[in-house]
Structure 1
Amino acid sequence: MSTPASSPATGRRRALAAIGATTGLLLATACSGETASVPPPGVSGSERDLSFAVDGTEVFATFTSPTNATGTVPAALIVSGSGPTDRDGNTQTRPDAGTNLNLARVLADTGVASLRYDKIGSGQTGLGDLDPEASIDPEVHDRQLIAAYEELLAQPGVDPDRTVVVGHSEGALFALRAHDLLDTSPALVLAAPPGTHYLDLVDRQLTEQIRVGEARGHIGTTDGVTVLSDARAGRAALRGGRELPDDLSPLLETVYSEQNAAFLRWIDTFDPVELAADLPDGTPVLVLWGEEDVQIPRSDVDRLMTGFADAERLDVPDADHVFREFRDRPGTAALDADRPFAPEVAPALEEFLDQAW
């Protein structure tokens, strides 16, 4: 939610960053911007940049096709996680995450084309002509997905009968609704998907940050209680259809703000379990989760799985939220650029997609 034109998660990160500035809690993986010191997964394929329009704003994207492909090929639409995340899966706080780029490379290596795009407020797309101080229709993210999928199908060599939507983190909520948004029911890959209502996830993440800060002596207990109490007051106001209190803690102002209220109310209405249960019969689903993911806990993924009639799941050992290897031991690499993409993802995707169509 770094900009009102995007989802509120970057604002959530800003609030946590404000706490982190005091507590030193922010992930060491967040700020790097260095040249990658580990080889990327998969293959680069054949890439070309393109763009399409959504509500008058030009959205920039990259289409990747397998090298030396013959005939038509299956294709994937990659949907980013929260905040102003660019087409490669990077944000200002994690400029080397590369989640979407790594997925595109793995897909290309398995013979699957892909399209990834800069969300509103990110990358080359930016804000366009949108007012950065104004709230926007939260369903612009749906319209971006629809337009991106149509652009994917318009690419030469793409087989419209073999498509998959790959949603990372918050993007999984959009992937789960793809059959309602599109004139088809694509296969789904849900990577690090939320398993509970959005505002409950925000509350849990904020609570964990505060508790760690208190344990390390970087934030006082009284201040921590105030932040959490105010956060829950903001959540209750949004769910009750009321205006946000005007005396919330400054640490929450970019989360529970009037600019973000419409998006928060809207996305919090979706229960991932109900979305999973509403999928058309026979929809192929693969759920990927990193066992070192500190943003989405195992219990959330367990809850999500109860909604599926049938879905495959892979828990990736030693992988974090962006599926880079992470081992919590002294001396191990912390920066994204220094940690390889989890090798278990590629064979899991290949096996799943071989059986999906």
Structure 2
Amino acid sequence: MLRHLAAAVTALVVTTATPAAATPRQVAAVDREVVFTADGTTAYGTLHIPGHRAGQRLRAALLLPGSGPTDRDGNQPPGAVPDTLAQLADALGTEGIATLRFDKYGTGRTGLGAYREHPEELDYPAFVRQARAAYESLRAQPETDPHALLVVGHSEGAMTALLLGGTVRPRPAGLALLQPQAIRLLDLVALQLKAQIAEAARQGQFTPEQRRVVDAAVDDAVTALRENRPVDTTDLPPPVARLFEAFQGPNARFVRSDDAVHPPDTAAALRPATKVLLTCGTNDAQVPCATTDALTAALRRARTGGPARVALPGVDHLLHDAGHQATLAPPALDALRRFTRP
């Protein structure tokens, strides 16, 4: 009798000690409007939260746009609507990474804000402060892990990402510098212009002597801007003259403050072992791969982690290739997956 009773009790213990495991509740993916303030201006953005388990803290990335009036989706409507940042948000979402993208000054719902009455005072540091406020907003979201934040910047936004990487707290776990502005602004402009002039000379539109004169005038214009002097446009073709005229007047403060940043110098402030992806497209006429050499070397000296520089074959500045004119090219997506791999 005791033996049978003991067996029954043992069976009961075995049965009751292994209850069925509860299945965590799944939360569906969602986009929601996020509002934050920088320098007295209310900025508006989109927070994308991918599907996840209830209570789970997610890796999260701040997305930073390129130069000019580029909105939260990476567009300059009506003329340019590549949806670069919106597509990056979708791609990162498939990797389980939340994202925040926002309308920077002069775009979307944000507009010029506190600078509406004096836009000439809007300089590059103001955009950096706005990006820092966005990072802090992302860090504070209930779904995000504040110790697993990433910053993903495109073009000028990549330079802003570098500046944030060495100053925000907590430091980002990783930076993705996509087709980055990797040298001083006016040096990059001069490089682009001289490449266009060389191509025009190759097509017979300029003689070798005319090309030499225009190249020298471009160099003189850059020097004048850096010395805060009027630009002599006498020897410049009309489209180039108009560009340098636009760099003066209300835009002068922004141009000088952007040009003051030398991106390779900013790499020294990064935390060693910070994961860094730097991409350059072999078809990118705006940011040729050679312009990223000094920054790549600076990242190596700073002992950052990989994937480091990745050349994207056939990819242009907007992360497109010949077979993907309206979507992110497969080499760009592959590089992002390497960067986000745990």
Query: Are the counterparts in 1 of residues 282 and 314 from structure 2 also a CA contact under 8 Å?
Result: yes
**Cα distance in 2, alignment partners of residues 169 and 235 from structure 1:** 21
Query: Are the counterparts in 2 of residues 69 and 111 from structure 1 also a CA contact under 8 Å?
Result: no
**Cα distance in 2, alignment partners of residues 278 and 143 from structure 1:** 17
Question: Would you say 1:273 and 2:264 are equivalent positions?
Answer: yes
How far did residue 141 of structure 1 move? 0.6
Paired residue for 2:219, among 198, 221, 232? 232
How far did residue 211 of structure 1 move? 3.0
**Cα distance in 1, alignment partners of residues 320 and 146 from structure 2:** 31
Question: Would you say 1:207 and 2:198 are equivalent positions?
Answer: no
Question: Would you say 1:192 and 2:179 are equivalent positions?
Answer: yes
CA pair 52-349 structure 1, distance change in 2 beyond 3 A: same
How far did residue 253 of structure 1 move? 4.2
Letter in 1 for 2:256: R
CA RMSD between the two structures:
2.7
Pairing 1:232-271 to 2, within 5 Å after superposition: 232-239=219-226, 241-245=227-231, 250-271=241-262
Q: Give the alignment's TM-score, normalised by structure 2.
A: 0.79
Paired residue for 2:103, among 118, 130, 142? 118
Q: Give the alignment's TM-score, normalised by structure 1.
A: 0.76
**Cα distance in 2, alignment partners of residues 322 and 77 from structure 1:** 18
Match of residue 168 from structure 2? 182
Match of residue 48 from structure 2? 64
Deviations 1:199-237 (A, max 9, x none): 110101122223334444667888866654443223212
Question: Would you say 1:292 and 2:279 are equivalent positions?
Answer: no
5+ residue gaps, structure 2: 1-27
Query: Are the counterparts in 1 of residues 70 and 107 from structure 2 also a CA contact under 8 Å?
Result: yes
CA pair 287-245 structure 1, distance change in 2 beyond 3 A: closer
Seq. identity, % = 35
Deviations 1:281-337 (A, max 9, x none): 12111112222111111211233211113432322222111111237xxxxx8xx43
Larger CA Rg, structure 1 vs 2: 2
Match of residue 23 from structure 1? none
Deviations 1:233-274 (A, max 9, x none): 2321233x3333365654234443132222222222222222
**Cα distance in 2, alignment partners of residues 318 and 219 from structure 1:** 29
How far did residue 68 of structure 1 move? 3.5
Question: Would you say 1:105 and 2:90 are equivalent positions?
Answer: yes
Query: Are the counterparts in 2 of residues 89 and 100 from structure 1 also a CA contact under 8 Å?
Result: yes
Question: Would you say 1:354 and 2:341 are equivalent positions?
Answer: yes
Paired residue for 2:141, among 145, 155, 158? 155
**Cα distance in 1, alignment partners of residues 78 and 218 from structure 2:** 22
Q: Secondary structure at the match of 1:172?
A: helix
Paired residue for 2:293, among 293, 297, 302? 302
Question: Would you say 1:143 and 2:129 are equivalent positions?
Answer: yes
CA pair 69-296 structure 1, distance change in 2 beyond 3 A: farther
CA pair 206-159 structure 1, distance change in 2 beyond 3 A: same
Question: Would you say 1:50 and 2:34 are equivalent positions?
Answer: yes
Q: Secondary structure at the match of 1:50?
A: strand
Q: Secondary structure at the match of 2:127?
A: helix
**Cα distance in 1, alignment partners of residues 206 and 106 from structure 2:** 32
Query: Are the counterparts in 1 of residues 61 and 97 from structure 2 also a CA contact under 8 Å?
Result: yes
Larger relative contact order, structure 1 or 2 (CA cutoff 8 Å, min sep 6) = 1
**Cα distance in 2, alignment partners of residues 190 and 271 from structure 1:** 15
**Cα distance in 1, alignment partners of residues 219 and 247 from structure 2:** 10
